[in-house]
Structure 1
């Protein structure tokens, strides 16, 4: 990291190219829809269902969110006043070509950003699917989902 001084203004430049982007952004609770993402009880979730209650004698209309944690699959329910802001995680999906699986179970991936070796082979059906493609000597593309500083493999495709 280095600092540049231009006419008494200082700029800090990160060696990793990080522009200081936030992991979340605010959105009004009543604007969030099924299929979108939201932070529910501090976890990044995909919204499965939203129910809205009209304002009652205690004030605000309320939205109840039912979501699925995008990393663990756990179901989470959370409630917020409809007019208040909620945090929405920045979720990014990227495709990588798979080279091999290391002995300790990490995927060796290649993409536009270079080499990546910090994503673990998922357990269950997706992990078996990836192993099956490699055993059949097929070229494999893995979809990596990233949010809140974490990454997980969510899909794989065999290329012919």
Structure 2
């Protein structure tokens, strides 16, 4: 899910949707308005799920989307190889995440761990 807002209202540390990917804002630089144009905003972001750095330049008055990022808790049901089966503790929804081997080694079945959910994607909250 996502909401619409103006580029000028964004702040560092918040989230924005860039190229259909929820991203965390690292920095914002706003230029002065020119003789015939509006002020421009340069926003440097990093993807929450893919870790890719991006940057966008848009007028301050342009509309953009902000993702709804939820921090939730899940219980580990089972671990098989790199796949971890989890169950959300509030709505009891079951889902699987594929994790690197070093992260899987730290996990134990039956324990609760925090995770991030946004725009249909999930990852462990490290």
Superposed, 1:4-15 pairs within 5 Å as none
Instruction: With the length of structure 2 as denominator, give the TM-score of the two structures.
Output: 0.86
2:120 alignment counterpart: 149
CA RMSD of aligned residues (A): 2.1
Partner of 2:12: 34
Higher RCO (CA < 8 A, seq sep 6+): 2
Q: Where in structure 2 are the equivalents of 1:1-160 lying within 5 Å? A: 23-103=1-81, 105-120=83-98, 122-123=99-100, 128-134=102-108, 140-155=111-126
Query: Which ranges of structure 1 fall in alignment gaps of 5 or more residues?
Result: 1-22, 156-160
Residue 158 (structure 1) aligns with: none
TM-score normalised by length of structure 1: 0.69
Q: What are the superposed Cα offsets for residues 88-119 of structure 1, whole Å, 9 maximum, x if unpaired? A: 11111101122321346133334111141333
CA distance in 1, matches of 2:44, 2:91: 34
Q: How many residues were matched structurally?
A: 126
Which of structures 1 and 2 has the bigger CA Rg? 1
SS at 1:33's partner residue?
A: coil
